[in-house]
Amino acid sequence: MAPPSPIVDELKDTPDEASATPVPDAPRLDTAPQQLVAGLLGKADIRINGERPWDMQLHDPAALERALAEGNLGLGEAYMAGAWDCEQLDGFFDHLLRAHLDREVQPARLAWHALQVRVFNRQNRTRAWQVGKAHYDLGNDFYEAMLDPLMAYSCGYWRDADNLADAQRAKLDLICRKLGLQPGMRVLDIGCGWGSLMGFAAEHYGVQCVGVTVSKEQAAWARERYAGLPLEFRLQDYRELDAASLGGPMDRLVSVGMFEHVGRKNHRVYMEVAERCLADDGLFLLHTIGKNRRDSVPDRWIDKHIFPNGDLPSVGQVGDAIDGLFVAEDLHNFGADYDHTLMAWHANFEAAWPRFADALGETFHRKWRYYLLSCAGAFRARELQLWQWVLSKDGVRGGYRRAV
Choice among 86, 176, 277, 375 that is catalytic:
375
CB atoms within 10 A of CB 41: 22
Q: Give the H or E element holding residue 41.
A: helix 32-43
CB atoms within 10 A of CB 163: 12
Q: Tell me how far apart the alpha carbons of residues 286 and 315 are, in angstroms, rounded to a whole number.
A: 12
The DSSP output letter for 261 is G
Q: What DSSP letter does each residue of 356-376 carry, written as one string?
A: HHHHHHHHHHHHHHHHHHHHH
Q: Amino acid identity, residue 169?
A: R
Q: Which residues have a Cβ under 8 Å from the Cβ of 369 and sit 6 or more positions away?
A: 89, 346, 349, 350
CB 268 within 8 A of CB 321: yes
277 is an active site residue? no
Report how far apart, in Å, the C-alpha atoms of 93 and of each of 1, 99, 106, 193, 329 are: 26, 10, 17, 28, 34
* CA 196 and chain centroid, separation: 17
Q: What DSSP letter does each residue of 274-288 carry, written as one string?
A: HHHHEEEEEEEEEEE
Report how far apart, in Å, the C-alpha atoms of 96 and of each of 41, 190, 373, 374 are: 7, 34, 13, 10
Report how far apart, in Å, the C-alpha atoms of 126 and of each of 132, 236, 300 are: 12, 12, 20
* Residues designated catalytic: 375
